[in-house]
Amino acid sequence: MTDFTATKAAFHLPEGMIYLDGNSLGPLPRAAVARIERTMRAEWGEMLITGWNKAGWMDLPARLGDRIARLIGAAPGTVAMGDTLSIKVYQALASALEMRPDRRVILSDSGNFPTDLYMAEGLIRTLDRGHELRTPAPEAVADHITDQVAVVLLTEVDYRTGRKHDMAAITAAAHDAGALVIWDLAHSAGALPVDVAGCGADFAVGCTYKYLNGGPGAPAFIHVAPDHIDRVRPALSGWLGHEAPFAFDLDYRPGAGVERMRVGTPPILQLAALDAALDVWDGVDMADLRARSIALCDRFIAGVEAACPDLRLASPRDGAARGSQVSFRFEHGYAAMQALIARGVIGDFRAPDIMRFGITPLYIGTAEIDAAVAIIGDVMENRLWDRAEYQTRARVT
Ligand SMILES: Cc1ncc(COP(=O)(O)O)c(C=O)c1O
């Protein structure tokens, strides 16, 4: 059994704040502070350049890749760390398209996170070979898998609604049609059990600053299925993905295995923080996490619906069809979220009208859910959002 009291104690949670935004940026793991300090003082400070060998900095991306692999059901040696998720989407898509040279369609959906679609558009323009991006409604994706499709590029859990695709079923349908599949696990890794190997995903990508609590700007990950690893040709052929970076050859030769998906110098301070953040997961059973997540989400939905008739549930009511977030639609959602933040309930807003709440069992329990519901009820019943100061949108919503 997972000890959720122990996992909560592993985080610094500001006094008086109910943090329901771990689906955007996870809180600070206490151990990360000492770990960063050690990396700065004892490694960077004392070892300087020799830290790349002495402190094992160069091996960190592979070592942490293996730790992430366990959380997404991937084999060791199939996950590389680095860059941002947008870059990893581009890398996966470029490699996958090259593996299906006779096909021209990239199939995504209209609920996908914009950067995935933007990166696909940019790649299509660069390739200039007549590729086409299709974005049907999430519910209709399966009907659009045809023998024209080269790659299916989907985010498992919709960032707005929390609706969850059936990864196994879509992957199987795509493979039956001869297409490859890339899963964006930004809202899945650390949020629910994922089995990339079991469902046969060709590529998976994700970030580590949300449910994995690696900190703002923490590096992304990319998984390549073992059958493909030695065949993929990295489009972003950086020197640290080279077979022998320190040979300084003039020509690129891809490195062994998933190391070839590395690009340039890894962010050591961020990786150190992430390493400390991942320690929390050592004692977590993902089935326990999922059961608690669904129970907390159900409790939150029931409480908010009972207290706030103006809020309309935007997430699936069935826990099995949902990720680890709950969203409500409200015409004045931005202002209402600002009013909640002023009262210490932190969620976020996604245009046009979505109020989004991340439910993260590592550090959120029934007490926080009930307290948040009471504050949301008060803000809505007394129209506390209807003040001039809550109407102006900040740069980050
Ligand atoms: C599903 C999804 N994909 C991609 C991204 C973009 O990631 P990054 O900013 O790390 O490139 C996000 C960011 O929230 C996301 O939610």
Q: Give residue 31 CA to ligand 1 midpoint distance, Å.
A: 25
Q: Note the pLDDT tens digit of each residue in 28-47.
A: 999 999 999 999 999 999 99
382 token code pair: 């007394």
Distance 21 CA to ligand 1 centre (A): 15
Q: Please, which pLDDT band fits residue 339 given cuts at 50, 70 and 90?
A: very high
To the nearest 10 degrees (0 to 180), the angle between helices 85-99 and 114-127 is 50
Regarding the beta carbon of 304 and ligand 1, being less than 6 Å apart is answered: no
Query: How far away, in angstroms, is 350 Cα from ligand 1 center?
Result: 14
Q: Where does residue 232 fall: left (phi above 0), alpha (psi -120 to 50 degrees), or beta otherwise? A: beta
Give the residues across from 222 on adjacent strands. 80, 205
Residue showing tokens 């009013």: 339
Does 196 have pLDDT greater than 80? Answer: yes
pLDDT of amino acid 394: 83
Q: Is 278 in the pocket of ligand 1 (CB under 6 A)?
A: no
Tens-place pLDDT, residues 126-160 = 999 999 999 999 999 999 999 999 999 999 999 99
- Is the shortest distance between the CB of 23 and ligand 1 below 6 Å? no
Prediction pTM value:
0.97
Q: What is the pLDDT of residues 172-184, one digit of tens each?
A: 999 999 999 999 9
Confidence of residue 320 (pLDDT cuts 50, 70, 90): very high
Question: With 80 as the cut, is the pLDDT of residue 192 above it?
Answer: yes
Whether residue 161 has its Cβ less than 6 Å from ligand 1: no
Where residue 393 falls among pLDDT bands split at 50, 70, 90? confident
Note the pLDDT tens digit of each residue in 268-318.
Answer: 999 999 999 999 999 999 999 999 999 999 999 999 999 999 999 999 999
| Ligand 1 atom closest to the CA of 209, numbered from 1 | 10
Structure-token match 């059901």, residue found: 73
Mean pLDDT score of the chain:
97
Tell me the pLDDT band of 397, cut-offs 50, 70 and 90: confident
Place of tokens 């122990």: 6
Alpha carbon distances (Å) from 396 to 30, 106, 348, 351: 26, 30, 9, 12
Q: Is 109 in the pocket of ligand 1 (CB under 6 A)?
A: no
Ligand 1 atom at minimal distance to the Cα of residue 207? 10
Query: Would you state the pLDDT for residue 28?
Result: 98
pLDDT for the residue 113: 97
If you measure from the C-alpha of residue 205 to the centroid of ligand 1, how many angstroms do you get, rounded to a whole number? Answer: 10
What pLDDT is recorded for position 237? Answer: 97
Q: Which residues are catalytic?
A: 113, 184, 209-210, 356
Candidates 159, 212, 236, 274: which one to mutate for ligand 1, based on the most atoms within 8 Å of Cβ?
159
Contacts for 196 with CB less than 8 Å, ≥ 6 apart: 72, 73, 74, 183, 185, 204, 223, 225
Residues 75-98 have pLDDT tens digits of: 999 999 999 999 999 999 999 999
Q: Is the CB of 220 under 6 A from ligand 1?
A: yes
Q: Which of 23, 207, 270, 354 to mutate to test the pocket of ligand 1 (most atoms within 8 A of CB)?
A: 207
d(CA 62, CA 70) in angstroms, rounded, equals 13
> Is 235's pLDDT higher than 90?
yes
Q: Does ligand 1 come within 6 angstroms of the Cβ of 84?
A: yes
pLDDT more than 90, % of the chain: 98
Q: Which residues contact 41 (CB under 8 A, 6 or more apart)?
A: none
